[in-house]
Chain A
Amino acid sequence: MRDVAIVSYAQSRSVRRELGANEVEMVMPVVREAVERSGIPKKQIGFTVSGSCDYLAGQPFSFVSALDAIGAWPPISESHVEMDGAWALYEAWVKLQMGEVDSALVYSFGKSSMGDLPEVLTLQLDPYYLAPLWPDAISLAALQARAFLERTGRSERDLAAVAARSRRDAKASPRAQLAGDFDVERLLADPYLVAPLRKHDCPPISDGAAALVLAAGDLARKVARRPAWIRGLDHRVEPHQLGSRDLTTSVSTAEAGRRAGVGKGAVDLAELHAPFTHQELILRDALGFGDGVVVNPSGGALAGNPMMVAGLARFGEAAERVMRGDAGRAVAHATSGPCLQQNMVGVLEGE
């Protein structure tokens, strides 16, 4: 396997509604920053992949206009996945493993504010049996949360503690949308949104964009003082039908984590893509993280959840901390689909 590292990361501040800028205007500064910081001239970047979702943007072929933000001239080798940018990162990583190119630009964007996000996500469901009933994403998460609390004996207080910790940690991040000190008792006094979930258990609606640059081997060593090496990267999907799987565990996360080599060493910190509080606990269990592992120092998706970006952002945030020397070994995770149906896990290490 070829040594590939994340050598730069940039992300817009997550906002509830980006009214001024369209997708191109949102993506452009983020891509410029990531490329500039990478130290690799834009025209030398070997491959570009993006992640985005038409139904988020309310128009087909929505990724095409974003190409204007890149300056694709002379023509570039470029691809796109209709998935979170983490899967664009995966495609780019595979390309670098092939050996034909030495660097790649990965970017993703999403404006969840444009539509009714829970309803848009309902359309991810089985179009014959599930979608016509219109169960929204929050209700499905609540279903999972209920089952989780009952099986494990965790409490709503445990969930509120995740929310409070995440938003407190987010105070240190200039990119966070929801940050501040929240008292667990006060949170628990709030009414349910969809029981057993309260508003604080759910992610904010966010607009945003992110970009990062991958480089291989000597190129990474040349341009970055301390590249964040991707030592392992794997993703797995579970059955779609919610009744076919145990919603209270994340077997695909455990499997991806095993294949990525999470257990091969100590984990200093983990950025886990958990849009809902109970999902962080499910993911911790799946990856075998006890209380000693710092989770989501950035605040995670609970502090800012731009769809199609939040997964890539976990990789970017983890990579930044490795590159800064704040962590020697970090785990990044991304999820897609209802109730953690699909999961990606990566292990990042400094030298």
Chain B
Amino acid sequence: MERCAIVGIGQTKHDTMRIDVSLPGLLREAIAKAFADAGVSWGDVDAVVVGKAPDMFEGTVMPELYLADALGAAGKPILRVHTAGSVGGSTAIVAASLIQAGIHERVLTVAYEKQSEGNAMWALTVRIPFQQAIVAGAGGYFAPLIRAYMTRSKAPEDTGIRVALKDRLNALKNPTSHLVFPDVTYEMIRDSPLLWDPIRYLETCPSSDGAVAMVMTSEAAAKKAPNRPAWVHATAMRSEPTMFPGRDQVNPRAGRDCAAELYKKAGITNPRKEIDCAEVYVPFSWFEPMWMENLGIAPEGEGWKMTLEGATALDGDFPVNMSGGVLSSNPIGASGMIRFAEAAIQVRGQAGEHQVPDAKRALGHAYGGGSQFFAMWIVGAERP
């Protein structure tokens, strides 16, 4: 298996509506930054891998066909990955696999959503004949699971508020953030309206337009890159069915198995100590403690302690979502890849104000569907 390096990363400024750019314009904004970072241009790319969430969010079927022109893909292979919310992560993994399999030298991967162009809310709750109507929205699906976690773990009721506060403070240090609350406080979050009890408005992710792009290369091509690469140390994906008897949706086995395989491939036996920081898919603040347990960073039932102790803060011993996370920017199709990209940004020392000092190994995590699709990677500053 070949080594894979990430030599260029670019993101758009994420926002509610990016009406200043067309759909291809949004992607090219991210790609231009990635190219500048990588010191390459369109002619240097061998293949393109696109990821995004359901086509109904924008109303174009199989958009890789339309985007082929804007992505400079004519004459090249182009793939489009779709694994629900984890898509950004699985797209990065597919792109990396093209390098790791020795098929291409340089791959451009981009994930995006321009959900302001369609009606994402409609697409997420559309009534399908013969199926039960979704009456409670995405938050309504996850809120009962969060309540189950609170019961199981006996976590303090304000754990979610603390996570949201941390992520929103981190967002102030990330120029690409969509939601920016310069005056955010614990009380502001606590007093924001409850949407699906126990989830409050300010503990919830936004709906954003945005894109993220990465240039991945072989080891040989990485030598020509002007900036320090991040190296892929391990990747893993797992899926489980949505509904089956005895399914644990709070601590899904697919997540645990995925993390276990990931650590084994990366040679990690103590993830809390051996990983310096993590970008984890947290669309509702309570998912941070839940994922800390699912990822084996904290023992089962104790994920919330990490939050309370400040361990997951930017200056803690295991910073999580230094970028502000999904709570701050959520172009659905891109969010998973943003996590993967931010992990790489950390080990390349490029994170500016939200940099974890001396980060050598970082975890990128994405999930989707009913907590059933998982994609993860470990990237490092050192060549594996």
Contact = CB atoms under 8 A, between A and B. Distances in A.
B82 A81 contact: yes
A109 B37 CA distance: 40
Interface string A335-351: 01110011000000000
Nearest to A60: B54
B97 A95 contact: yes
A61 B368 CA distance: 10
B66 A121 contact: no
Interface stretch (A72-80, A190-198, A283-291, A324-332): A72-80
Contacts of B242: 64-65, 67-68
A65 B78 CA distance: 26
Contact of A241 (B69, B84, B128, B240): B69
Contact of B79 (A74, A91, A338): A91
B221 interface: no
A341 B68 contact: yes
A244 B69 contact: yes
B75 A252 contact: yes
Contacts of A63: 82
Nearest to B100: A98
A261 B195 CA distance: 58
A235 interface: yes
Q: Which of A82, A131, A238, A241 has the most CB of B within 10 A?
A: A82
A53 interface: yes
B60 A79 contact: no
A77 B76 CA distance: 27
Given A75-B253, A82-B82, A237-B76, A53 B62 contact: yes
B29 interface: no
Interface in B209-264: 236-242, 244, 252-254, 257-258
B135 interface: no
Interface string A232-252: 001111111100100000001
B239 A78 contact: yes
Nearest to B369: A64
Nearest to A344: B77
B30 interface: no
B94 interface: yes
B77 A236 contact: yes
Contacts of B74: 237-239
Contact of B94 (A58, A91, A342): A91
Interface stretch (A122-130, A143-151, A179-187): A122-130
Interface in B6-37: 22-23
Interface string A88-104: 00110011011110000
Contacts of A82: 55, 62, 80-82
B90 interface: yes
Contacts of A73: 240-241, 244
A120 interface: yes
Interface string B46-81: 000000001111111110111111000111111111
Contacts of A95: 97, 101
Contact of B1 (A68, A100, A123): A100
B60 A123 contact: yes
B299 interface: no
A207 interface: no
A312 B244 CA distance: 30
Interface in A39-63: 53-55, 58-61, 63
Contact of B128 (A1, A55, A59): A59
Q: Which of A68, A78, A252 has the most CB of B within 10 A?
A: A78
B194 interface: no
Contact of B66 (A127, A235, A255): A127
B23 A127 contact: yes
Given A72-B241, A128-B22, A77 B1 contact: no
Given A123-B61, A127-B60, A240-B68, A74 B98 contact: no
A55 B241 contact: no
Contact of B98 (A72, A80, A87, A94): A94
B97 A337 contact: no
B267 interface: no
Contacts of A127: 23, 58-60, 66
A82 B102 CA distance: 24
B66 A126 contact: yes
A98 B94 CA distance: 11
A255 B79 contact: no
A239 B65 CA distance: 8
Interface in A297-351: 336-338, 341-342
Contacts of B80: 81-83
Contacts of A76: 238-240
A77 B235 CA distance: 11
Contact of A61 (B69, B81, B84, B98): B84
B78 A237 contact: yes
Interface in B304-319: none
Contacts of A121: 61
Contacts of A99: 1, 101
Contacts of B82: 54, 63, 80-82
Nearest to B375: A79
Given A64-B369, A237-B68, A74 B75 contact: no
Contact of A240 (B54, B61, B65): B65
Contacts of B236: 77
A336 B61 CA distance: 12
Contacts of B69: 239-241, 244
B136 interface: no
Contacts of A74: 240, 253, 257
25 contacts: A53-B62, A60-B124, A61-B369, A67-B241, A67-B372, A68-B241, A68-B242, A74-B257, A76-B239, A80-B83, A81-B80, A82-B55, A91-B79, A91-B97, A98-B100, A99-B101, A123-B60, A127-B58, A127-B60, A236-B75, A236-B77, A237-B64, A237-B75, A240-B65, A255-B75
- A-B pairs, 3 with minimum CB distance: A60-B54, A97-B101, A75-B254
Interface of B: 1, 22-23, 54-62, 64-69, 73-84, 90, 93-94, 97-98, 100-103, 123-124, 126, 128, 236-242, 244, 252-254, 257-258, 369, 372-373
Interface of A: 1, 53-55, 58-61, 63-65, 67-68, 72-83, 87, 90-91, 94-95, 97-100, 120-121, 123-128, 131, 234-241, 244, 252, 255, 336-338, 341-342
Given A61-B54, A64-B242, A64-B369, 8 more contacts: A55-B56, A60-B123, A60-B126, A81-B81, A83-B64, A237-B74, A237-B75, A240-B65
